[in-house]
Chain A
Amino acid sequence: MKPGRFTYHAPRTVADALAVLGEHAGDAKVLAGGQSLMPLLNFRVSEPGHLVDINRLPDLSEPVRTATGWHVPALVRQRAVERSAALSGAFPLLEAALHEVAHPQIRNRGTLCGSLAHADAAAELPTVVTALDGRLRIASPRGERTVAAEDFFVFHLTTALADDELLLGVDLDDLPAGTTTSFHEFAGRRGDFALAAVAGQATRDATGVVTRCRLVAAGVGSTPLRLRAAEEGLLGARLDDSALAAAARAAAHEARPTGDVHASAGYRRDLVATLTRRVLADIAAAVPTSVPTEELTHA
């Protein structure tokens, strides 16, 4: 099918973009990489009267080093994240997940932030950014605000973004020393959305005891799902077999999958257990290291 009629706007400044969004709030959609929105337009699942193409906005295409980590602005393509030695070095979790995101042709256009704003609960990037405790920078005519990833995702395809707001980028803090991450996904075919996926990070002290832990699952809830019971069970523990088994059980218990034509709820629940265990086994096997910030900046 073909998109319905809309008026096309290609603002050159964020202020102009916000003005258009404000004027047509509720009847305008933001177009970034288009890899999620364009299919919706082509099938007329979405028929906005106005399309605000932000691809001509300046200064949003390159990751920026901040005092505490990295800022990934709205127009950074997924392929650019993949190819950035600095970003991949700082966040191996991002790179691991991007290998599961569709295909190179999609990642060439698709943006990291676009995937967040689209908020598919089975998508990899919202899950990973939640696991990294990302903070989303949002602009509106009322000014700028920051929302934690966990609060940003509200429901399937629904975020905290108001109709007149624009996602400017996401802030990701450097991981503390002693932190390791891992991502595991199961999908029907390579590049498909996840039937289930788990992203995790854990920080261990010198004796191997977990001091910080975050586990987030995709595809088994209406948003990226924090596996809090599994996380809590791991705090203060060593990542031995019994800890992994307990975390996997807890994760399966707190997952909220629904069954569909692709997989039953029970199957997805089993996947969460298996993937949680794999993530934790990776983390347990890795020697926790941290790359000095100075090296990343110059990578």
Chain B
Amino acid sequence: MPDQDEPDWVDTVVNGVRHEEVVDARTTLADFLRGRLRLTGTHVGCEHGVCGACTVIVDGAAVRSCLMLAVQADGAVVETVESLTDDSASGELTPLQDAFSRHHAVQCGFCTSGFMMSTTAALREGPVTDEAQAREVLSGNICRCTGYTGMVAALLEVGSDDQH
């Protein structure tokens, strides 16, 4: 049952695929990605912008998808964690994902996709070369399992790599 008589449309490119959908105005981008597009790699944690689990990249900038409405993504280009590897069937990881794995920067994994998107956006902006900078990049996401030491190590390992 739609909320309104007048439908709200969203026309957005998510991970390279264009979607034109009718949405309820109150649907957040996070719920649209998960519920409508079935891109369930984006996780919903606190729903008020604190935990960072829902972080995605919109028009090049890492943002909280729980603090954006789906209709606001109209005309935008969205990237989710699913976009990081071209072929999920092969199981091949990006250097960042691989570094997270090797440095034990993942435990339960709930927060990981948010960390991936925050760090991916940060690395596109420039290299991450010292611990203070790495911690600043990671500061907007919360992990309740591992602590952050492994993540700092992983980020520093790939942070100065030119291919990012």
Contacts and interface: CB of A to CB of B under 8 A. Distances in A.
Interface of A: 1-8, 10, 31, 34-35, 38-39, 41-43, 51, 53, 55, 79, 102-106, 108-109, 190-191
A44 to B, nearest CB: 10
Contacts of B24: 5
Interface stretch (B14-22, B25-33, B94-102, B146-154): B25-33
Chain B contact residues: over half helix, strand or loop, or mixed?
Answer: mixed
Interface stretch (B63-71, B79-87, B103-111): B63-71
B71 A191 contact: no
A276 B102 CA distance: 46
B67 A6 contact: no
A289 B118 CA distance: 38
Nearest to B50: A39
Interface in B1-41: 3-4, 6, 8, 24-26, 28, 31
B49 A39 contact: yes
A6 B26 contact: yes
B128 interface: no
Nearest to A43: B48
B157 interface: no
Contact of B139 (A34, A109, A191): A191
B61 A79 contact: yes
Given A8-B71, A42-B48, A191-B140, A109 B28 contact: no
The 5 closest A-B pairs by CB, nearest first: A103-B140, A8-B25, A39-B48, A38-B67, A108-B61
17 contacts: A1-B47, A2-B26, A5-B25, A7-B6, A35-B49, A35-B64, A35-B67, A42-B28, A42-B66, A42-B67, A51-B25, A102-B140, A105-B55, A106-B140, A108-B61, A109-B61, A191-B140
A10 B69 CA distance: 12
Contacts of A1: 47
Nearest to A38: B67
A38 B28 CA distance: 9
Given A8-B71, A38-B28, 17 more contacts: A1-B47, A2-B26, A5-B3, A5-B25, A6-B26, A7-B4, A34-B68, A34-B69, A35-B49, A38-B48, A39-B49, A42-B28, A42-B48, A42-B67, A53-B72, A106-B140, A109-B64
